[in-house]
Amino acid sequence: MTENRDLEFLDRIAPPESYRYGGKASGLVSLISHGFHVPRGFAIACACFQELITLNPRITKTLKNINAAVDPDPILQGAEEMQEMLQECTLPERLELKTKKAFTRLHSQSEHNRGYAVRSSANIEDSDTSSFAGQATTTLCVSDLEAVLSSIKKTWFSLFSLEGLLYLKTKKIPLTDVRMGVVVQEMVDADVSGVMFTVDVVESDSDRILIDSTWGLGEPIVSGRITPDSFVVQKDPLEILQKRLGSKRLMAIQTAGSESVGYSLSETPIEKREKLSLSDEQILQISKIGIEVERRLRRPQDIEWCLEGENLLLLQARPITTLDREA
């Protein structure tokens, strides 16, 4: 692997080269190339993680043992051994230097100190055949360079957590085939966040869109902590078919001090719980974007999005893999 491909800003990655940075990064690069609004950020190539693994014979040996294991006990023991060994690892020096340079540039372009999101981008993630959704660690509202470097390691190492290993074993994905990239992006001070399926995955209806939304950041939806507002939209003609008020018991909001940022999870004010988080105009706006993303990417998509004022940003888009299994 050449050094100049270790790390690159998302808007400078050519779509044919995006696979080097994993599934999530590849999806973001596709969105950017088609003109959709995506938070600024950079990606670290999957091969950097693989280099870390291959240079450590003990890690390589343990992975082979886990890969061959059938019973749960050797997998549990292997997961514990992996975490112990990985904690002793450090980022390659050249990657740390490049990350510092990229972070400094990204931070200098930020108008507000909103922090950064550090997300996984495995080569099997958000692909046409598997999602790997929720298996690796995501860190939100990371405030400074040292925290970003630490979060990159956490994301890398979470691939070989017990949950991650069991997912890979269940899906019969060889552990030695998995490569973990990382995406670092600006946080968005979202007023409303949500997810959208560009087909109705409940009724297997390709003529309908499903949207879930809540106030603030989207973490409570993604983690399943709340019952969000939900909407069903017909594609042609574009029409809202159903609106359901969710309890939205909790909301995640960014907190910012003079030197640090973060987010807090608190009870949603009653006036917000009793009000839909999206207007009809916003529902239709989000639906139109979903239809266009599906058209441009040429298959149904699972999209995470947020609204900052009237500005709609797409946080990720991945193919919907459940339709193929249900067909």
Q: Which two tokens stand for residue 132?
A: 């790997």
Q: Which CATH number does the domain housing residue 249 bear?
A: 3.30.470.20
In a shared domain, residues 21 and 147: yes
169-179: pLDDT as tens digits: 787 887 777 88
Could you give the number of structural domains in the chain?
Answer: 2
Alpha-carbon span 82 to 144, nearest angstrom: 27
In a shared domain, residues 164 and 92: yes
Q: Which CATH number does the domain housing residue 72 bear?
A: 3.30.1490.20
The residue from 132, 158, 186 where one domain ends is 186
Alpha-carbon span 267 to 225, nearest angstrom: 12
In a shared domain, residues 206 and 68: no
In a shared domain, residues 104 and 223: no
252-279: average pLDDT: 80
Q: How confident is the model at residue 1 (pLDDT cuts 50, 70, 90)?
A: very low
In a shared domain, residues 226 and 162: no
Alpha carbon dihedral 121, 124, 127, 128, in 10-degree steps, equals 180
298-314: pLDDT as tens digits: 999 999 999 999 899 99
pLDDT value at residue 125: 63
State the chain's mean pLDDT as an integer: 87
91-100: pLDDT as tens digits: 888 999 999 9
pLDDT value at residue 143: 82
In a shared domain, residues 39 and 166: yes
Q: At what angle do helices 280-297 and 23-33 cross, to 10 degrees?
A: 100
In a shared domain, residues 138 and 199: no
In a shared domain, residues 71 and 144: yes
The parent domain of residue 223 ranges over: 192-326
In a shared domain, residues 145 and 217: no
Q: Are 243 and 220 in contact (CB under 8 A)?
A: no
